Amino acid sequence: MPTIAENLLNIHQLIRRYENYYHRETGSTELLAVSKGQSIDKIADAITAGQKRFGENYLQEALEKISHFNDPSLEWHFIGAIQSNKTKLIAENFQWVQSVENFKIAERLNDQRPEHLPPLNICIQVNISEEDTKSGVAIADVPELVKQCANLPRLTLRGLMAIPQQKKLLRDQRVECMKLRLLWENLYENANFFDTLSVGMSDDLEAAVAEGSTMVRIGTKIFGKR
Ligand SMILES: *Cc1c(COP(=O)(O)O)cnc(C)c1O
């Protein structure tokens, strides 16, 4: 069994290879290690190997990990569904929230972000493949939500996030990622730090890098099965 350090090295090498192949700037795709359902020990191994960014979906589990490591050099991203009664703890404990899908949640995060912390980085989650079962805002509603969120002073709107419908072929995966990229490019001017296109998981990594992803989110291929 490869170690977590070896898995991280392999994924970084794969990302660099795709960046090169698709004429992306080297290092322009960041890696978010999705650590939901993974143990403290495994996360500690990843930290030792140099990983700083972690994604979590479940608040209680995440809070235990954040307080266990209590390390300001780590960056915790909330990427799960958000219930409105959880926004306060999310606003107090995370550096990023990638799963904002309506204004009510954005406003609560803004109002509850503690004064002593910098503005909370957020991404708007888009239901890019327009699936009934997926979370995220509909494509048609994204521009309005971007405008609204850009006006909240305690949030920094960094970009868009999506979990595209699974497709087998690279070209079909690229079409899904491209839809998100085009939407993102058209919204650039609405926010000051709109630099994040969060797309790409284990099975569509190549397509995502080809289409300009700036942050891929990988769990199982780093830590093993949950
Ligand atoms: C779980 C999850 C991932 C990572 O999934 P893996 O299959 O473990 O690589 C990425 N993004 C989101 C939003 C997730 O919930």
Write out the DSSP string of 160-179. Answer: EEE-PPP-SSHHHHHHHHHH
| pLDDT the model gives residue 173 | 98
188 pLDDT band, cuts 50/70/90, is confident
Q: Which atom of ligand 1 is nearest to the CA of 201?
A: 9
CB 149 within 8 A of CB 158: no
- 163 backbone dihedrals φ, ψ, rounded to 5°: -115, 90
Residue 82 CA, ligand 1 centroid: distance in Å: 16
Q: Which atom of ligand 1 is nearest to the CA of 57?
A: 15
Query: pLDDT tens-digit profile of 124-179?
Result: 999 999 988 889 999 999 999 999 999 999 999 999 999 999 999 999 999 999 99
* Burial (Cβ within 10 Å: 0-12, 13-18, ≥19) of residue 49: middle
163 lines ligand 1 (CB under 6 A): yes
Whole-number percent of the chain with pLDDT over 90: 93
Residue count (the chain): 226
Contacts of residue 93, defined as CB under 8 A and 6 or more positions apart, other chains included, come to 62, 63, 66, 76
- If we measure between CA atoms, which residue out of 61, 35, 29, 58 comes closest to residue 47? 35
- On whether the pTM is more than 0.95, the answer is yes
- 113 backbone dihedrals φ, ψ, rounded to 5°: -70, 120
Which two three-digit tokens encode residue 117? 């912390």
